[in-house]
Chains A and B, each alone.
Chain A
């Protein structure tokens, strides 16, 4: 059964860059859209963006200037970078597998808690 395993730094200072990676195990990679979603008490679930096997991305408009996603189809991994973080970026970040259109998510990673604090 496919699994997503994610990792990255959990404590950042304001203005630093958040960097997370998610690996796909025991499942196909090229048939899906790969997504990052975050969750916080104040903002709820927030879709950050998606990337496909060719590296084509779509980002949420509110974060577009700070977000970069990348993909490595050989390693079956995809990554998120969010620059110039601040306290509003604190939350739990999930990687997720989207269906072929990237519209809904049938497999999620366990999440990484990211805290931004000076």
Chain B
């Protein structure tokens, strides 16, 4: 199975600042990577697929980059609703599809 490792586990950021989240794959997943946001008590929401394509309705402040084994999710200017947990997921080699352990973005 491909192991997805996210860092840091927790990121403390002030509103309006930029947040940079990392995801690393145990082997190359090309650009077959998705990002999700999960707010407390809610199901995850798809943000990004194909490593860099925003899903329908996702604001432009969310951007994804990377290929191979190293990926980044950037939130350019954090809004109050962006404080949540973010997960990456690979779909290059499966089954199984695998998720990272998550990065919690909290208010500094």
Contact = CB atoms under 8 A, between A and B. Distances in A.
Interface in B23-57: 32, 34, 36, 42-46, 49, 55-56
A104 B95 contact: no
B102 A47 contact: no
Given A45-B87, A111-B43, A104 B49 contact: yes
Contact of A106 (B56, B98, B102): B56
Contacts of A104: 34, 46, 49, 89, 91
Contacts of A58: 94-95
Contacts of A96: 43
B71 interface: no
Contacts of B89: 45, 104
A84 interface: no
B96 interface: yes
Interface residues of A, number: 22
A45 B96 contact: no
The SS class assigned to the A binding surface is strand
Contacts of A110: 42-43
A73 interface: no
A103 B96 CA distance: 10
18 contacts: A44-B87, A58-B94, A58-B95, A94-B44, A96-B43, A103-B32, A103-B34, A103-B49, A103-B94, A104-B34, A104-B46, A104-B89, A104-B91, A105-B46, A106-B46, A106-B56, A108-B43, A110-B43
Interface of B: 32, 34, 36, 42-46, 49, 55-56, 87, 89, 91, 94-102
